[in-house]
Structure 1
């Protein structure tokens, strides 16, 4: 928006101080002239009469001749004093605003590491400065996370493309090589690239909250996710137990189903083969709708668990078979949880595996 240049806030405050000061003094002098000084210069002790008012404004009387020049001199002195004093006081009051403005311009140039750190007791300016520092810290963290995500995404997308390029180069250099094997490997790599791209798109959509919330029964969502992955569980020799009753929250049924599917898929894949277990269910805890899932598996340290929701982080060093994934499963879960105003918590189980709790806003069962 284009705006014309106007007076500075400091000058406006100065003029406001001076105007109010002159108005107060003028009213005081007028009251002194009307109610305390008679036309002959004597002090009036009683309430003035109409004759006193008429004599005050008589040019031939002694009172106005002496009083008016003195009043004009007093007003002139107060005008100069008010301008200088008001300018100094306004500058001192607006000094924190100058620091905030300087920090804003620094941030606008792309530097998010600068902080105002305004000292002094709490007031409006310091509250504004603290809020701005908090916003800068969040923006800096978000920008660093975005840069890491872009670098990791580029690396993950480059890997299948490089593999496909290598396979094509091998096929070109050796015409007698079995084409069926190369086709199968190209197909597997292409499927992985497609899955990664779809995961990135889903992660982008959940961050935008582009859905219309509606009541969702989490118990039905969990049951549908378990039915979808029953074949995968049988392949790994993992038994899945579903528990809990109906619990309603508000959100997107499709995204919440994706959340439950990702959690259950992660619990099945990162488990012990032939004898592993997964327990998934719903309930109400401390006024929130919760989805709880825990699985057996390898022992995980707290430091590793704290990084599992970061994009492209995997719980183990295994990168082959079903364990490879795309590294976005729990990142998508956290994004969906955040989009539904919920909270995701992960903690390692002492005997191995992971315990995951998703807390979502609880709503009443729809009629």
Structure 2
């Protein structure tokens, strides 16, 4: 913003300090003058000879000294106020410098203001905390952008190779080429839609309504039941009603992603997926568990990051690597939390907690 230049805060404080000193001094001199007028008689006699000073004589003697005293107080207030204001505003100067560095793009520095706790220390600590969160967020966004670019580049590169092969080999089977191009293009579309959904949830630009998470869980499991049966898996659902407020479409996407991940990352056959809902103590919960291999807790902690897959290998059903990242983003957009932990005996347990509503 373009603003007209004005006095600095240090100058304002200096003038304020000096003004207070001069006003207090003037009041003190006024009290002294009133005392002289009230208690000193109009004529004063000193023995052995008479001496008769008048009040006008006192005035001529007092006022120059009072003016000199006020001038001294003004000078003292200006000098002392300037030094005191500079000392008081020194932490603010450090904070301003740190703010300018942050505005220039440097997020790694911290103020770390020394001394005991006061308003300036609280401001500096809050600013340091904000810088730490911004640095982490920017780093996460950079990693996400790099991963997204890599993931998008892969199907585009495959498409380019297939087209080059078809152009250089006219006798190549066009039907097989079309099928492979269709699969690669489908993967690119899925990734683009996942990125758009992730952006939508982070912006929280969606309408909210009363929904029952248990009904949404039933809808998702019914949709994915043929996929589970094809892979020889069993889906078991249960639990209590789970009323909450949110987007039906996004919560359905959340549940579908969890159930689909539980199906894909399961035992080759005779595996099981458990989907349960509840509302203990006014908190709506959705828990999805599945059988599977033993998982390293360190690896499990990274699964909510974008483009992370449980076994870190690509399979035909690996998806685009944004399943749990989207689930986490949807949960946060609904003021909820996501917990991912290895299941005893193998597999994964994922729990989503959302604020409940009173029926």
Q: TM-score interval w.r.t. the shorter chain?
A: over 0.9
Structure 1 residue aligned with 2:284, among 289, 293, 296? 289
Structure 1 residue aligned with 2:335, among 331, 341, 345? 341
Q: 2:45 corresponds to which residue?
A: none
Alpha-carbon distance in structure 2 between the residues aligned to 1:12 and 1:213: 50
Calculate the TM-score normalised by the size of structure 2.
0.94
Alpha-carbon distance in structure 1 between the residues aligned to 2:39 and 2:238: 102
Alpha-carbon distance in structure 2 between the residues aligned to 1:61 and 1:285: 89
Superposed displacement of residue 61, structure 1:
2.4
Q: Secondary structure at the match of 2:234?
A: strand
1:224 aligns with 2:186: no
Q: How many residues align?
A: 349
Structure 2 residue aligned with 1:149, among 144, 166, 189? 144
Contiguous gaps of at least 5 residues in structure 2: 43-52
Structure 2 residue aligned with 1:328, among 322, 326, 331? 322
Alpha-carbon distance in structure 2 between the residues aligned to 1:133 and 1:359: 30
1:256 aligns with 2:251: yes
Alpha-carbon distance in structure 2 between the residues aligned to 1:236 and 1:42: 115
Q: 2:48 corresponds to which residue?
A: none
Give the conservation status (yes or no) of the 8 Å contact 2:240–2:279: no
Q: 1:105 corresponds to which residue?
A: 100
Q: Secondary structure at the match of 1:229?
A: helix
**RMSD in angstroms over aligned alpha carbons?**
1.6
Superposed displacement of residue 127, structure 1:
0.7
Q: 1:354 corresponds to which residue?
A: 348
Give the conservation status (yes or no) of the 8 Å contact 2:241–2:279: no
Deviations 1:110-151 (A, max 9, x none): 110010000111111111111111111111111111110111
Alpha-carbon distance in structure 1 between the residues aligned to 2:104 and 2:322: 33
Assess, with a 3 A threshold, how the Cα gap between structure 1 residues 77 and 232 changes in structure 2: closer, same or farther: same
Alpha-carbon distance in structure 1 between the residues aligned to 2:54 and 2:236: 106
Structure 2 residue aligned with 1:188, among 177, 183, 186? 183
Assess, with a 3 A threshold, how the Cα gap between structure 1 residues 178 and 7 changes in structure 2: closer, same or farther: same
Superposed displacement of residue 160, structure 1:
0.5
Alpha-carbon distance in structure 2 between the residues aligned to 1:146 and 1:40: 81
Alpha-carbon distance in structure 2 between the residues aligned to 1:39 and 1:287: 77
Assess, with a 3 A threshold, how the Cα gap between structure 1 residues 318 and 235 changes in structure 2: closer, same or farther: farther
Q: 1:50 corresponds to which residue?
A: none
1:15 aligns with 2:15: yes
Structure 1 residue aligned with 2:164, among 155, 169, 173? 169
Contiguous gaps of at least 5 residues in structure 1: 44-57
Q: 1:2 corresponds to which residue?
A: 2
Assess, with a 3 A threshold, how the Cα gap between structure 1 residues 33 and 326 changes in structure 2: closer, same or farther: same
Give the conservation status (yes or no) of the 8 Å contact 1:39–1:64: no
Calculate the TM-score normalised by the size of structure 1.
0.92
